[in-house]
A and B are shown apart, each in its own frame.
Chain A
Amino acid sequence: EAQVTQNPRYLITVTGKKLTVTCSQNMNHEYMSWYRQDPGLGLRQIYYSMNVEVTDKGDVPEGYKVSRKEKRNFPLILESPSPNQTSLYFCASRYLTGNTEAFFGQGTRLTVV
């Protein structure tokens, strides 16, 4: 089954404690991205990657890092989480070219206290 898998689904952490949210896709997609969703602000892109070792900032990259060492994985790293990063996070993937749809993971609800 084609899917994007995020882990963990829920996470409560403390300010400053480094964390990583993993994202993996099994569709051989070149393009992967991370979004955050906040009430009243909708989904906003954090980072994206067009292929292995190619990453770039989205609209709200501050406080986040990503890496793309393998095609299937695109982890989101919060080196020093702060309460304003409390949000619902989604990973998405799609083929780089063509007019195909994006597949989204089930989301990670992060709370930073």
Chain B
Amino acid sequence: DAKTTQPPSMDCAEGRAANLPCNHSTISGNEYVYWYRQIHSQGPQYIIHGLKNNETNEMASLIITEDRKSSTLILPHATLRDTAVYYCIVRVAFSQGAQKLVFGQGTRLTINP
């Protein structure tokens, strides 16, 4: 399974862009990078995913390096409600197409007023 490495915690000022890094140096060519977040003890919430191109949606942008060994999740204008634990996950495929999400420890992002 490809492993991911994230900083345990980060701070960001409200209204600024939050840039969350993730290393996944052992990622395979057909593995996607997914980002989820967990606010307090709620269920994890999907943010975005990508394979090799940069991706953007209404929540965030995902920048994947050309060698795919790392990526950055960008929250363009962070708000207090973005305070959460952010998980970078490489999707593991196994047995007949079933895929599981392997959660690491994530990055605890705190948005400060």
Q: Which residues of A does B touch, CB under 8 Å?
A: 4, 31, 33, 35, 37, 42-45, 48, 50, 56, 58, 88, 90, 92, 96-97, 99, 101-107, 109
A96–B97 CA distance with the chains assembled, in angstroms: 7
Contact pattern, B 64-97, Cβ under 8 Å of A = 1, otherwise 0: 0000000000000000000000000001000111
Question: How many residue pairs, one in A and one in B, have C-beta atoms under 8 Å apart?
Answer: 54
Q: Which residues of B does A touch, CB under 8 Å?
A: 32, 34, 41-46, 49, 51, 91, 95-101, 103-106
A31–B97 CA distance with the chains assembled, in angstroms: 10
8 contacts between A and B (CB under 8 A): A43-B44, A50-B96, A50-B97, A58-B100, A96-B98, A99-B49, A101-B46, A103-B46
Give the residues in chain A near B100, CB-CB below 8 Å.
33, 45, 48, 58
A44 to chain B minimum Cβ distance, whole angstroms, is: 8
A109–B42 CA distance with the chains assembled, in angstroms: 10
Given contacts A42-B105, A48-B98, A106-B43, 5 further A-B contacts (CB under 8 A): A42-B104, A43-B103, A99-B32, A104-B45, A107-B42
